[in-house]
Amino acid sequence: MPEATRTLPNFRSDNVAPVAPEILQAIADVNRGAAASYGDDDYSALLNRRFSALFETDVSVFPVPTGTAANALSLASCVRPYGAVYCHEEAHIHTAEGAATEAFTGGAKLLAMPGQHFRLEPPMLREALAAAGWGIRNRAQPDAVSITQASEYGTVYPLAAIAEIGAIAHERNLSVHMDGARFANALARLGCSPADMTWRAGVDILSFGATKNGAMSADAIVVFDQGLVESLSYRLRRAGLTWLKMRYLSAQLLAYVEDGLYLRLATKANTVAARLGAGLAALPGVRLVAPVEANLVFASLPVPAINRLAATGLPFARRGQDVIRFVTRFDSSEQEADEVIALVRDATTGG
């Protein structure tokens, strides 16, 4: 790594973030003597209660190491091996999880569809379901819809859209899964309650992301539809995802939601992204690929400009030929956004 890059902002991914100090402290705090294993400890008992309060309904919470585990196991709990999952064609479960959902469901099918701004569109979903071949043995049978909130491109579903998708799905007895790898960023954007963005809008099971937003290694599956819990709990066990020392996972998640920490962290990331997005959009030759509604900024630039930008050592991800991605975090700063804007300006103007 060239020396220069060390001091440049790193907006490559929110996966590069450190752990929020409050969460690290919580881990240290539970490190006292023996505690029951496999989730029978006091902290883990507290986890279900605390999240039930947060979501204003009885939920079951299962900490998992990654969003992929959360998504694939969630879907395995509500999709039959001969079932199908409807999702956006850019959904992480479809493009970037190594076919984990196909593996854990025993070979179900992901049916991906387009949709403006990387969101599923209710009318298209309705049409697709109408044409699904219900009861025809050679067609995978619709079992679930999966939406990503915030989406992989940083757009956020309005509550009404989620509710419409939920209604369409439930009419047909499909489960609704939300990939909430950036749940807090979406929630901060909408300013609604966790309940409003999930079960009240029809979400049955949620991949609750925390790792990208300040936890160490603790995402979670939050189950609203209690009928899914038993199957899920066995599937987690045989996936090697039942933690021996669960207290350390529970502690992370408890601290994450304590006093709204998760929202404060997400709000910071969103704020920096908004500033970055606005700054980039104002540059000649730069076009935002999607509205900046969470902590992700996708911009289209001329290829030579991208190459010049890369030459500066600034870390970023590429998507296709002429699109680059920046991701802000809870520990990002407005000053970093301004630095990046300046670098992009230089690159696009031939610098």
Site for a copy of itself in 234-253 (CB under 8 A): 234-245, 248-249
C-beta of 109: minimal distance to a copy of itself in Å? 5
By CB under 8 A, residue 34 contacts a copy of itself: yes
Site for a copy of itself in 7-26 (CB under 8 A): 10, 12-13, 15-19, 24
Cα–Cα distances in Å, from 92 out to 18, 20, 151, 180, 346? Answer: 23, 25, 9, 11, 32
C-beta of 351: minimal distance to a copy of itself in Å? 24
By CB under 8 A, residue 287 contacts a copy of itself: no
Q: How far apart are CA 287 and CA 281, in angstroms?
A: 6
- In this complex, which beta carbon is closest to a copy of itself, that of residue 184 or of residue 190? 184
- In this complex, which beta carbon is closest to a copy of itself, that of residue 217 or of residue 300? 217
- In this complex, which beta carbon is closest to a copy of itself, that of residue 6 or of residue 284? 6
C-beta of 104: minimal distance to a copy of itself in Å? 8
By CB under 8 A, residue 233 contacts a copy of itself: yes
By CB under 8 A, residue 199 contacts a copy of itself: no
By CB under 8 A, residue 210 contacts a copy of itself: no
By CB under 8 A, residue 32 contacts a copy of itself: yes
C-beta of 163: minimal distance to a copy of itself in Å? 29
Q: Which 3 state secondary structure label does DSSP give 273?
A: helix
C-beta of 1: minimal distance to a copy of itself in Å? 9
- For 88, residues 6+ apart whose C-beta sits below 8 A from its C-beta are 94, 112, 113, 114, 115, 118, 119, 120, 147, 148, 151, 152
By CB under 8 A, residue 228 contacts a copy of itself: no
Residues forming a β-bridge with 221: 62, 207
- In this complex, which beta carbon is closest to a copy of itself, that of residue 196 or of residue 338? 338
Cα–Cα distances in Å, from 16 out to 101, 109, 239, 265? Answer: 25, 32, 26, 15
- In this complex, which beta carbon is closest to a copy of itself, that of residue 162 or of residue 327? 327
Site for a copy of itself in 156-195 (CB under 8 A): none
Site for a copy of itself in 132-151 (CB under 8 A): 137-141
Residue burial 26-53, b: 16+ Cβ < 10 Å; e: rest: bbeebeeeebeeebebebbeebbebbee
Task: Say if residues 328 and 273 touch (Cβ distance below 8 Å).
Answer: yes
By CB under 8 A, residue 81 contacts a copy of itself: yes
Ranges of H-type helices in 145-246: 159-171, 183-190, 194-197, 229-238
Task: Say if residues 54 and 194 touch (Cβ distance below 8 Å).
Answer: yes
